[in-house]
């Protein structure tokens, strides 16, 4: 039971963070659709939010990421690559990474260039057969944990003509060696293109990478050429296949399915359009409704003239010409094309986006004689197909509903699984996306298998990693592991301690539990103000005391983590003889644990603590050159936007005071890493 509670703490906090990520980028999408800048500075600021996701045309990308212009010095002692790659190159890379060596930027860019060329030739759904090899090995999330990949290869063997692998997404983020994992996987992909298959995961997304560490990792390892490497990786990610079919009977996808999952549509989607799945909804259905209203002769609201008066340099929104009769389909089609193109150009000019990425018009926007006879999918429908397979999770209940815990994708029940299996004549699904204590887990009457390959994911000893092998009979065979001996020893100690706890009330909290409760106390501190308001509901007489039962109810009403607070209470609240809690004193104790600088206003520290991931994500988007520095003015704009998103009241004077307290070296720039460390907002690396 204790282990289960610890697990729920880790998972609830992880999913709450992902939900914040979705909310933040929904806010960015809202800005893109509705925000009218009042000055050129605001326009430039908002433009920076979105310009980083812009894709290059083919020739521009080749020129920008020109690896041939980079010289490898004679002093370089790391591995060297030449193309086409050979097995010896892969072996050299493995040995070099074990010795903590780094691949030169020229070879990294060259590898990414060749990988992109190969991926562009692949279908959206890869097809694998056990007829050509004795078995197929499927690996789940690795999340930058290179030791796990080394252990998989040690136990199972390297990819080869007789050893096929499917790596099911989420290669990057969280761990510290994501780039090395990508380099190894891409190398084997090019050496054995028929035996190595890579699926896209929800973390193969540059907007997610801004939050969960991969962007920072690349820039730290390649300070001079990191930006080029990131741009190339971003373009490689959008070309990764979306799924893999083994013997036409086993579907391998990263997240899951929904009641609208359509494999026929997935096979035909132009997958590279979705550079970031979080930013896929560029044209909303409401836009389509406006067009329909105008076609029917209904009036549309006049554009706001105030914006043009405030900022004369902004282009005025074009009014579409009067729609011709739908009886003349050719004229009607021409009118729709012209109208939509005018609106797109206006939006580009509004946020100062260059024409290097041409917006692809959707079927809902373009009407032609051929479209009327064939399948017509909107960009929204295509986006949802990809979002669902990358972000969804199974649930034990019947049906399909929105995944409010993660904030993206859906929860799908056994009935949804059954319908998909029957429709496409499949035996079962393999997915990843969720950490499992044993590294794998069956659900839906063994028709859905979750496989997770990153061991010690939350903390050393928290979970095993696993991979699954399928032979021609398609019977799953599992191999479990933990990436180091320390973790294995610790896990055995914890198990012994767990059984001893059944007979002793003096059970010592394990390291895993300590880590979980530390994270939970940080979460509680970050919501101090909301907790006080919730406690006061039960403290009618303003005594400063509430019952422990009311404490549990109030905490859940604020954090909404779905945790068994009454069971967790002994580790969070000191026991009292009368069963009452002095909640202000308890919150003061939480604050003392988190606060490292007494001169910082407590309420401001709480705000920063609660929203640190959102703030860092916005910061890294604004920091276009990934230098880790932004100017005072940019920092000021960041806080204004951030406070608008989070509904926080913060005065200009308050922001200026914060800036002055952070700029330790008085160079006129903000170093965000120092900023986070100053408030203990990031854990020190051990």
Catalytic sites, residue numbers: 203
Those residues whose C-beta lies under 8 Å from the C-beta of residue 685, and which sit 6 or more positions away, are: none
Those residues whose C-beta lies under 8 Å from the C-beta of residue 619, and which sit 6 or more positions away, are: 630, 638, 672
One DSSP character per residue, 117-148 reads HHHTTS-SEEEE-TTSSS-EEEE-B-TT-HHH
- d(CA 341, CA 551) in angstroms, rounded, equals 57
Supply the DSSP symbol for 356. T
Provide the 3-class DSSP secondary structure of residue 427: coil
- d(CA 163, CA 110) in angstroms, rounded, equals 26
Question: Which of these, 467, 502, 461, lies nearest to 482 by C-alpha position?
Answer: 461
- d(CA 465, CA 457) in angstroms, rounded, equals 9
Provide the 3-class DSSP secondary structure of residue 295: helix
- d(CA 643, CA 648) in angstroms, rounded, equals 5
Question: Which of these, 191, 159, 185, 161, lies nearest to 83 by C-alpha position?
Answer: 191
Paired sense of beta strands 580-582 and 545-547, if any: antiparallel
One DSSP character per residue, 133-194 reads SS-EEEE-B-TT-HHHHHHHHHHH---BTTBEEEE-S--SSSSS-HHHHHHHHHHHHHH-TT
How many C-beta atoms surround the C-beta of residue 277 within 10 A?
24
Do 370 and 376 form a contact (C-beta atoms < 8 A)?
no
What are the Cα distances from residue 627, in Å, to 100, 178, 226, 482, 620? Answer: 24, 20, 10, 36, 9
Provide the 3-class DSSP secondary structure of residue 39: coil
- Tokens representing residue 428 in the block: 């079962």
């Amino acid at each position: 039971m204790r282990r289960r509670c610890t697990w729920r703490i880790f998972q609830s906090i992880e999913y709450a963070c992902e939900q914040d990520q979705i909310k933040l980028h929904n806010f960015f999408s809202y800005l893109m659709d509705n925000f009218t800048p009042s000055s050129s500075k605001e326009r430039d600021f908002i433009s920076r939010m979105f310009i980083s996701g812009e894709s290059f045309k083919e020739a521009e990308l080749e020129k920008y990421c020109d690896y041939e212009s980079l010289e490898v010095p004679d002093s370089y002692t790391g591995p060297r690559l030449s193309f086409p790659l050979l097995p010896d190159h892969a072996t050299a890379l493995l040995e070099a990474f074990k010795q903590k060596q780094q691949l030169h930027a020229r070879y990294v860019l060259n590898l990414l260039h060749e990988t992109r060329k190969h991926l562009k030739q692949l279908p959206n759904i890869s097809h694998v057969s056990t007829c050509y090899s004795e078995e197929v090995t499927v690996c789940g999330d690795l999340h930058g944990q290179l030791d796990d990949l080394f252990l998989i290869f040690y136990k199972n063997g390297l990819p080869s003509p007789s050893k096929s692998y499917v790596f099911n997404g989420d290669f990057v983020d969280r761990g510290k060696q994501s780039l090395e994992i990508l380099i190894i996987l891409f190398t084997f992909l090019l050496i054995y293109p028929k035996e190595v298959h890579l699926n896209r995961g929800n973390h193969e997304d540059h907007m997610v990478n801004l939050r969960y560490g991969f962007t920072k990792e690349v820039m730290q390892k390649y300070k001079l050429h990191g930006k080029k490497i990131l741009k190339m990786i971003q373009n490689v990610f959008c070309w990764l296949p979306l799924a893999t079919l083994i013997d036409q009977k086993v579907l391998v996808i990263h997240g899951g399915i929904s009641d609208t999952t359509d494999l026929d549509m997935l096979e035909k989607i132009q997958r590279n359009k979705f550079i970031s799945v979080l930013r896929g909804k560029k044209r909303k259905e409401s836009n389509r409704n406006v067009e329909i209203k105008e076609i029917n002769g209904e009036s549309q609201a006049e554009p706001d003239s105030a914006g043009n008066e405030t900022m004369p340099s902004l282009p005025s929104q074009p009014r579409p010409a009067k729609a011709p009769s739908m009886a003349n389909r050719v004229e009607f089609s021409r009118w729709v094309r012209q109208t939509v193109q005018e609106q797109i150009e206006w939006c580009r000019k509004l946020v100062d986006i260059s024409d290097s990425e041409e917006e692809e018009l959707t079927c809902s926007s373009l009407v032609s004689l051929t479209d009327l006879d064939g399948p017509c999918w909107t960009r929204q429908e295509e986006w949802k197909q990809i979002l669902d397979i990358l972000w969804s999770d199974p649930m034990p209940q019947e049906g399909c509903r929105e995944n409010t815990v993660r904030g993206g994708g859906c929860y799908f029940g056994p009935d949804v699984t059954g319908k998909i299996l029957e429709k496409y004549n499949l035996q079962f699904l393999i997915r990843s996306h969720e950490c499992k204590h044993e590294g794998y887990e069956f659900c839906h009457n063994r028709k859905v298998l979750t496989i997770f390959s990153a061991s010690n994911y939350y903390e050393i000893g928290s979970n095993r990693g696993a991979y699954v092998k399928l032979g021609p009979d398609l019977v799953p065979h599992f191999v479990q592991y933990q990436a180091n001996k320390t973790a294995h020893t610790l896990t055995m100690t914890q198990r012994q301690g767990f059984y001893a706890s059944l007979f002793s009330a003096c059970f010592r909290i394990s390291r895993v539990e300590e880590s979980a409760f530390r994270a939970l106390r940080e979460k509680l501190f970050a919501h101090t103000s909301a907790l006080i308001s919730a406690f006061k509901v039960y403290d009618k007489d303003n005594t400063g005391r509430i019952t422990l039962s009311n404490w549990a109810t109030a905490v859940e009403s604020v954090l909404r983590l779905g945790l068994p607070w009454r069971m967790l209470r002994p580790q969070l609240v000191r026991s009292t003889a009368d069963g009452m809690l002095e909640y202000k004193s308890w919150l003061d104790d939480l604050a003392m644990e988190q606060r490292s600088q007494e001169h910082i206003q407590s309420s401001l520290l709480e705000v920063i603590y609660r929203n640190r991931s959102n703030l860092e994500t916005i910061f890294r988007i604004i920091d276009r050159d990934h230098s880790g520095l932004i100017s005072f003015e940019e920092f000021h704009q960041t806080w204004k936007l951030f406070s608008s998103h989070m509904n926080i009241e913060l005065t200009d004077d308050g922001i200026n005071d914060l800036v002055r307290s952070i700029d330790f070296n008085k160079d006129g720039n903000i170093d965000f890493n120092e900023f986070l460390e100053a408030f203990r907002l990031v854990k020190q690396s051990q």
